[in-house]
Amino acid sequence: MPNRFQTVHFHVAEEKPESLKAVGSRSPALRGVGRKAASDKPEVSFNSDEAAARFFLSKAFDRDVRSVVRGLTAPGRVELVPDMRLLGVQEVPQASTRMVRFEQTRSKIPIFGSLAVVELDQNRELVSVNADVAEVQGVSPIPYISIRQALETVAGKIGAPMSGR
């Protein structure tokens, strides 16, 4: 069965107040304008960009109706989106935001082509979530060929020479 990617897109500027509340965010129009009303405060504060991004990613995945996406929240585990491995954080000075990037894993093995990007503002509030996550079925985490055999197979498929042949 072929692997299928599911796309998740959530941008605070495009969402209704009830959707924003569901992911623990608030409207960009209300950010930094006067005193915050008690209902406008984020539900939690974060000590790192990764913690904030994992929180918002888990909330965005949890509200998705597709089981593949919802399953990444791992409700039976303590960690937030444990099958998403942090790739890094990138500053975007022009927008005064940071992009926190993750890749999907299965049994700690990276899923090629998967990517989740959570954009945070300077206060670690959500700007957007964009993700491509895969439905992976019938793939064992235990290798049945050697690394050398795998490299030879890939090299043969793309017509690349193998060094040390």
On whether the CB atoms of residues 50 and 77 are closer than 8 A, the answer is: no
pLDDT (0 to 100) of residue 30: 58
Per-residue pLDDT of the chain (165 residues; tens, 9 = 90+): 455 899 999 999 898 888 888 888 877 765 554 444 555 455 568 999 999 999 999 999 999 999 889 888 887 787 889 999 999 999 999 999 999 999 999 888 899 899 999 999 999 999 999 999 998 877 777 878 888 898 899 899 998 887 754
On whether the CB atoms of residues 23 and 43 are closer than 8 A, the answer is: no
pLDDT (0 to 100) of residue 164: 59
pLDDT (0 to 100) of residue 140: 78
Distance CA 136, CA 82 (A): 16
pLDDT (0 to 100) of residue 27: 75
State the CB neighbour count (10 A cutoff) for residue 89. 15
pLDDT (0 to 100) of residue 1: 42
Q: Are strands 126-135 and 115-121 parallel, antiparallel or unpaired?
A: antiparallel
Which of 128, 54, 39 minimizes the C-alpha distance to 84?
54
pTM listed for this prediction: 0.78
pLDDT (0 to 100) of residue 114: 95
